[in-house]
Amino acid sequence: MKIKILQCFIAHFILAGCTHADKTILAPEFVFGEENLHVITSGFNRRKSTNFTLYGNAIAINNGSDSSRSLLPGQVYKLVTWKQKPNPYWFGGYINDEILTIEILKVSQSGNRVVQTDYHVENSKKEILHRNDSEKQSRIKFIREQKASVFP
């Protein structure tokens, strides 16, 4: 009996000092950010386990409340898509994991005042990924349809 009480007493203090082993390491490479680009909006897709944030430069940002964005020369959009995973520190939460793609849309004007779009997709290593014309048009449409999130 005495030994049992002593064991309990020791367990008391050993267990109190126990901490769970860390299952994760910091990944600064998942952070995206470029000077002159600000957040327009964000979203996630639980079926695909992805989340995304649409960034834009000042010309893109100031043209954010339309139902479909007008294409103005000088606009730069970057749509960053991450893999999404359960938050390792909070059951019920989800958080971005690694960057999957960065879609870049630049709007310019040609000599005869025709507005042109230049769209391409990169992975996190800046390697260009192939997309056919129909895929490109569909993604440009997706970017143009994004309404700006409400910030205070």
Piece of 22-30, 101-109, 115-123, 132-140 that binds other proteins (CB under 8 A): 22-30
Please, which residue, 3 or 150, has the CB nearer to other proteins? 150
Burial class (CB in 10 A: 0-12, 13-18, 19+), 127: exposed
Shortest spacing between CB 72 and other proteins, in angstroms: 21
Site for other proteins contains 44 (CB under 8 A)? yes
Site membership for other proteins, residue 113 (CB under 8 A)? no
- Residue 23 CB, nearest approach to other proteins (Å): 7
Longest distance between any two alpha carbons in the chain, whole Å: 95
Radius of gyration of the chain (CA): 24
The dihedral sign for the CA sequence 106, 134, 121, 127: negative
Out of 94, 104, 117, 120, the residue judged to bind other proteins by CB under 8 A: 94
The torsion region of residue 96 among left (phi > 0), alpha (psi -120 to 50) and beta comes to beta
Cα–Cα dist 43/50, whole Å: 9
Q: From the list 2, 3, 12, 111, which residue makes contact with other proteins (rule: CB under 8 A)?
A: 12
Binding site for other proteins (CB under 8 A): 5, 8, 11-13, 15-16, 18-20, 22-33, 38-39, 41-48, 51, 53, 82, 87-98, 147, 149-152
